[in-house]
Structure 1
Amino acid sequence: MKFKMQDKQNQLIERISDKHLVVGVDIAQQVHVARAVNYRGIVVGDPLSFENTEEGFARLLEWINRLKASTFDTAIVGMEPTGHYWTNLSTCLSEQNIDVVTVNPHLVKKNKENRDNTQSKSDKKDALVIADMVKNGYYSFIRPTSEAFEKLRVLMSNRDVIVKRLVSSINQINRWVDIVFPELRQVFKDVKGKGAIATLRLFPTPIELRSMEAQDIVKGWKTKMKRHAGLKKAQSLIELAKHSIGNHQAHDAYKLHLEQLLEEFDLATAQLERVEQEVTDVLKQTSFADKLLAIKGISEITLAGILGEAGDLSGFAHGNSLLRHGGLHLAEASSGKWKGQIVISKRGRSRLRRFMYLAAMSLIMNNPEFKELHTHNVQVKKMKKMKSVMKLIGKLARMLVAMARRNETYCPEKIQPLTSIAA
């Protein structure tokens, strides 16, 4: 059966009945604001400001129960997923068996003039706009995740921070080499390679190398590496140091700077290895990860990134739902005779988009079936390469969700284009 987004939208609207108290909460770091409406959008009760504490949450629950006592049987609470400030409130309400949903912050900004036809903005107005959006069906239910998927989300988020620090330290080491000893690259092409890093640790500046013998340099390399360069490279390094154009001033300051950069590089490298080992261990705890990893071209880190952001893939009704979750669904702007360009919406999780793209590119390079599909799209259907990649991302999303829901193994015959099957 073909998946239709309109069916889901209708279901979201139908869930809000005349017995629902619809609450909108404007999230902040310390003080939240709540407003309530009925299913027609009529304001119920007065606004409530409450702190991001246990006492504040108790005041909110008391306020909701007091408003429900009149004509409502149940309550639904909507909020913006603002940073990390909303998670504690969401957990507290869920433990009280209150439905908690989220609304898109971009849509809140777009809908702020619906109430009073003005561009004014305040916490109380934002809370009312959020409540209106919920009663109109513009909301998403929070997807509950198990312990393993929550671990993957935290670990992959942590990994992103570590990778940024590692890349930053490598860039700064490259800058240091450009200033102090640019000729080092004539001996070691990769500054972050073992040989270059060992040289920077032992004798980083040309001034030190000029007074050394080739044998002494090789002995130093032996203390840092099992496999190292020989006397020829050591002699070449000395000759280059004698004619270096690098900066000769502030020698001690540059050495201290490099020492700290190498410490940051070592720390980030060790932390990255530890996090990736943790990710590998957690993946073994998920039921269908081994089947997805059996697909040639899907790596552990890429799969962990997808599962960390999407959660349990078997909870998605269709692959298109996964695409919408990551903002990979198509958006069109057309009016009358004018036809706008069709683009991806990018209204979703950016990290999920990144890992889906990386997974598709890896499959195109390493997986025979996806490589054949990409070639068929480009050469036979005359698609642009990027359009073909985006189409294959959609196919990958549907394949991952289907395998997770049915607990199936990868079947190459289902991926091949129709022409090759017929042949």
Structure 2
Amino acid sequence: MNHGNGVSRGDRNRNARLAKLRTAVPVTNAIVGIDLAERKQMVVVTDHDSKVLARRTFRCKAWDLGAALDWAGERSTRAGYAGVTVTCEPTGHRWRVLGQLAAERGMSFVCVQPMLTSGARKSEDLTTDKTDDKDAVLIARLTAELRCYLPEPVDETWGRLRHLGVRREQLLDEHVACVQQIRDLLECVWPAAISTAQQPFKSATWVASMHVIITRDCGDFTRTRRLGPVRFEHAVRKELTRRGKLRPCLRILRNLYAALADPAGVIEHRSGAFERIAWLIEDWDTARAKLADTEVRMVAVLDDLELTELACSIQGLSPVGAAAILAETGDLHRFTSSRAVVKHAGLAPRQRMSGTFAGRARLSGAGRPRLRTAAWRAVWGAVKSNPVYAARYRHLTTRETNKLKPTQAQTVLAGAILRQLHAVITTGRAWDPDIATHGTLKPTTLAEVAA
């Protein structure tokens, strides 16, 4: 469509966003800026020129701010305003409490990003002073300028998925931390054990064998060597059975038994290090069990939202991977475009252009870091299982001009997964490789053919 006024799609999206914000911050409302803290809440009532109409400090918890909102509503009515718009920074949990209290009173509620408040401090009076009094006024001023946003409405199911996603990230961090500590300790006191398997920490046989060795010897391999290969194999099989596995990898098992004779390592630290490794293996097993349970719950929530089939129509994207992404984005219908999702993840390129100068584009790095991580993890399975993504990856890393490094190509694919997941869920249509490769949209019904 040709627009004679030169308004771009970005302009239209921004205009629509501002119009939506204006309904929450109408000129007929006074603005109540609140700087939240644990026991001290600074409340100011301002007009749209950020002139302070009233100010008061409430020494109470966030749940007791209802009296502050009632006071602010009374002050705004005295000043001739039809209502109030409540605004604050979304730090901690208190802003959710304030939003609920405002909704109970029929008051509009918006949030201001803390980084905007930080920048506004310097522009206010050329200082970096940070006080509750100033911050409350700055929050109100930024809201009057519509430099705020409407917080995401979360229902019970989406809220549960978000909490499960945070829990999964914590367990993944714990899982990785245990692996790194075990590796570091073994490289110090028994480096030969690491080389007995290509990927030791992914091998059930290696983990079971290490458990047998550490619980028997605690640093002295004499007892385990005295068992002999056959009895050692029997002990490992028992441990594997306890862990729910059936058959060991005999090559790894024999390599570990042979490594018992390797003298390399700091012997003086071996006893203490093996005691720590035994604890770490227990923590690792616990973290993996909790992680598996959390992922099952996340997939169940995805089923409740009836999104599993749609999301997993993207070949190579697992139900857990899709649930991890949606736990960070929330309902994708709230985004105006797929590019907005990529910006939310911080995977959109940051352009640097002025006049005839064109700088090198880099990732913005803003947005939700856990969303970037979830999209990045999804790339690994997609490149292996999805021919469209695999071909795209090969093209980006092998083309003659502007050839990308592997990590750069993976970043491009992470953004593509987010865009296509948004399209799949918002349109309700399964992923189509033709459309994913910039093909034409093919009609699927007779009515579409006739149209």
* Same-fold call, TM cutoff 0.5: yes
User: Which structure 2 residues correspond to residues 15-414 of structure 1 after superposition, within 5 A?
Assistant: 15=23, 16-55=25-64, 57-70=65-78, 71-192=80-201, 193-204=203-214, 205=219, 206-225=221-240, 226-230=246-250, 237-249=256-268, 252-335=271-354, 338-360=357-379, 362-375=381-394, 382-385=401-404, 393=414, 395-414=416-435
The Cα shift of 1:117 comes to 3.7
Aligned equivalent of 2:437:
416
The offset of 1:215, in angstroms, is 2.0
Q: Relative to structure 1, is the Cα distance of residues 152 and 233 closer, same or farther in structure 2, using a 3 angstrom cutoff?
A: closer
Q: Shift in Å at residue 3 of structure 1? A: 4.8
Rounded to whole Å, the distance in 1 between the matches of 2:167 and 2:101 is 25
Deviation, structure 1 residue 289 = 3.2
Matched to 2:70, the amino acid is E
Report the AA paired with residue 267 of structure 1: T
Deviation at 1:125, TM superposition (A): 0.7
Residue identity in the other structure for 1:43: V
Q: Distance in 2 between matches of 1:37 and 1:277?
A: 49
Range moving further from structure 2, 281-290 or 323-332: 323-332
Deviation at 1:220, TM superposition (A): 0.5
Task: Provide TM-score, normalisation by structure 1.
Answer: 0.87
- Pick which of 195-204 and 159-168 moved more: 195-204
Matched position secondary structure for 1:141:
coil
Q: How far does residue 265 in structure 1 lie from its aligned partner after superposition?
A: 1.0
Q: Relative to structure 2, which stretch is displaced further, 327-336 or 206-215?
A: 327-336
SS in 2 for 1:35: strand
- SS of 2:388's equivalent in the other structure is helix
Deviations 1:192-249 (A, max 9, x none): 222222222222342333333222201201211221244x876654553234223333
Cα 1:357–1:173 shift into 2, 3 Å: closer
Percent of aligned pairs with the same amino acid: 22
Matched residue type, 1:134: T
Aligned residues: 418
Q: Deviations for 1:330-375, whole angstroms, at most 9, x for unmatched residues? A: 4334455544433333332221222234445644443223444455
Task: Tell me the distance in 2 between the aligned counterparts of 1:19 and 1:364.
Answer: 54
Q: How many angstroms apart in 2 are the aligned matches of 1:177 and 1:28?
A: 46
- Taking the aligned partners of 1:329 and 1:120, their CA distance within structure 2 comes to 33
Q: 1:85 to 1:195 in 2, by over 3 A?
A: same
CA distance in 2, matches of 1:214, 1:388: 47
Cα deviation code 1:74-109 (max 9, x no counterpart): 221222121334222223323333222122211111
**What is the identity, as a one-letter code, of the residue corresponding to 1:11?**
A
Task: Measure the CA separation in 2 of the matches of 1:335 and 1:121.
Answer: 34
Q: 2:84, 2:266 → 1: CA distance? A: 69
Q: Structure 1 residues 290-299 or 6-15, which shifts more?
A: 6-15
Q: Which runs of 5+ in 2 are unaligned?
A: 2-8, 241-245, 443-451
How far does the alpha carbon of each residue in 1:295-325 deviate from its partner, in whole angstroms, 9 at most, with x for none? 1021222211221111111232222332333
Using the TM superposition, give the Cα deviation of residue 393 of structure 1 relative to its aligned residue in structure 2, in angstroms. 5.0
Gapped runs of 5+ residues in structure 1?
none
Partner of 2:123: helix, strand, or coil?
coil
Range with bigger deviation, 209-218 or 355-364? 355-364
CA positional deviation for 1:285: 0.7
Asked whether the 8 Å contact 1:3–1:320 carries over to 2, the reply is no
Q: Partner amino acid for 1:414?
A: I
What is the CA-CA distance between 1:34 and the residue it aligns to?
2.2
Distance in 1, matches of 2:130 and 2:252, equals 67
Q: What letter is aligned with 2:430?
A: T
